[in-house]
Amino acid sequence: MWLDKLEKKIGKYCIKNLMLYITALNGVVFILQYLAPEADFVGKLMLVPSLVKQGEVWRLVTFLFIPMTFRPVRILFALYFYYLIGSSLEREWGSFKFNVYYFIGVLGTIAGAFLGGLGTSTFLNLSLIFAFAYLFPNYQIMIFYLFPVKVKYLALFYAAGLVFTFAFMPIVGLITVLGSAVNFILFFWKDIYYRLRFNRRAYMSQKEFKEKIPKIHVMHRCTICGITDVEDRKMDFRYCVECDGDYEYCMDHLYNHEHVKADAQANKGDGTASEDIR
C-alpha cells in the first residue's frame, strides 16, 4: 500500500498526539478572543485567499486553530469531543496515517477556499467524525454529559447539515465539502465500494435462496381465530358435526363457537336481499 511505503520513508517526521496540539491551540485562541474581543484575533487567523496572496501566509495554518464555537460551555464539550475522536483515530491507524488523513483534509480545505469555497476548519472536523463513525459506528457518547447517542447517528445528523449546505449554497457548498472530505473519500471509497457490492451480492443470494424454498401449504385453518397448522404444529383441528358445511376449528374454539346453520345463512341472505329491494 502506498501509505506503508510512504511511512517507511518519512514516517519519523509525523506529529504524534496531533489532536492534542490542535485542540490546545483552539483553547488558547478561544481564551484570547474571549478576554480581548476588540483585538479580533480570529479575524487575523482566518483563511482568506486574497490576504494570503498579499503575503499573510500564516493564514494557511492558523485557520485550524479557530474554535468551532465561542460559547464557554460548548467549547469544553467540543474540544474534548474532537480530541477524543482524533486520538482514537490515531490509536487505530497509527500517528503517521492519521497525520496523512488530517493534512490531506487541510490541503483540500485550502484548495477549496481558493476555488471559492469557505475557508473554515468546520467541515474538516466533520471528516474526522465521519471517519470515526465509519470505524466505530456503535460507539456511544454523552451529549452534554446527559444524553447517550451512538456516534453513527451523530454522523447522520451532520450529514443532513451538509445537505442543507448544498441546498442553500450549491456551488460554494459543493466545493467546500468536497475539499474538506477528500481525505475521507481517499481513505474509505474502496472499502465502501466493496462493502456495498458484498451486501448486494448477499441480498441477491438470500433472495434466490428464499425463492427456492418450497411453499408450505396450509392443511388446517380455524374458522374463528384463523390459526393454521403451519403456525402451531402442535394444535389439533376438528370439523364441527353440528355446523352445516365444512367448518374447521382449533381445539380452543371447537366447543366454544356459534354453530353455522344453513337456514340461518339463507334467512340472512333473504334479509339482505329484501333490504336491497327496498
CATH code at 73? 1.20.1540.10
Please tell me which residue, 141 or 96, carries the higher pLDDT value: 96
167 — pLDDT class (breaks 50, 70, 90): confident
Residue 211 lies in a domain: no
* CA 16 from centre of chain: 29
- Are 229 and 115 in the same domain? no
User: Could you tell me if 34 and 70 are in contact, meaning their C-beta atoms sit under 8 angstroms apart?
Assistant: yes
List the one residue out of 269, 270, 247 whose CA is nearest residue 258: 247
Q: Are residues 148 and 260 in the same domain?
A: no
8 and 113 assigned to the same domain:
yes
Please check whether residue 193 lies inside any domain of the structure. Answer: yes
Number of folded domains that form the chain: 2
Judgement on whether residues 95 and 118 belong to the same structural domain of the protein? yes
Give percent above pLDDT 90 in the chain.
36
**DSSP track, 134-159:** HH-TT-EEEETTTEEEEHHHHHHHHH
CA 91/CA 19 separation, integer angstroms:
12
Of the residues 206, 229, 250, the one at which a domain ends: 206
* Structural domain ending residue among the three candidates 183, 206, 229: 206
pLDDT for residue 59: 95
* Structural domain of 274: 216-278
Name the pLDDT band for 73 (thresholds 50, 70, 90): confident
DSSP-assigned letters across all residues of 15-45: -TTHHHHHHHHHHHHHHHHHH-GGG-HHHHH
In this structure, are residues 80 and 74 in contact, taking their beta carbons and an 8 Å threshold? no
Q: Give tens-digit pLDDT for 181-219.
A: 888 888 888 888 888 787 777 767 776 766 665 666 778
Amino acid identity, position 72: P
Q: Are residues 101 and 200 in the same domain?
A: yes
pLDDT given at position 273: 39
Distance CA 189, CA 191 (A): 6
87 and 143, same domain (yes or no): yes
Instruction: Indicate whether 23 and 139 sit together in one domain.
Output: yes
Of residues 131 and 204, more confidently modeled: 131
196 in the same domain as 237 = no
Considering 162, 185, 206, which residue would you say is the last residue of a domain? 206
Q: Clarify whether residues 151 and 169 are in a common domain.
A: yes
Q: Record the cell numbers describing residue 164, joined without a space.
A: 442543507
Q: Is residue 61 part of a domain?
A: yes
Q: What is the mean pLDDT of residues 150-172?
A: 81
What CA–CA distance (Å, rounded) separates 201 from 97?
Answer: 31
Report whether pLDDT(270) > 60: no
Percent pLDDT > 70 in the chain is 88
**pLDDT for 210:** 66
Q: Are residues 107 and 240 in the same domain?
A: no
Same domain, yes or no: 54 and 163 = yes
Could you tell me if 118 and 173 lie in one domain?
yes
pTM of this structure: 0.69
To 10 degrees, the CA torsion angle through 146, 18, 132, 100?
A: 170
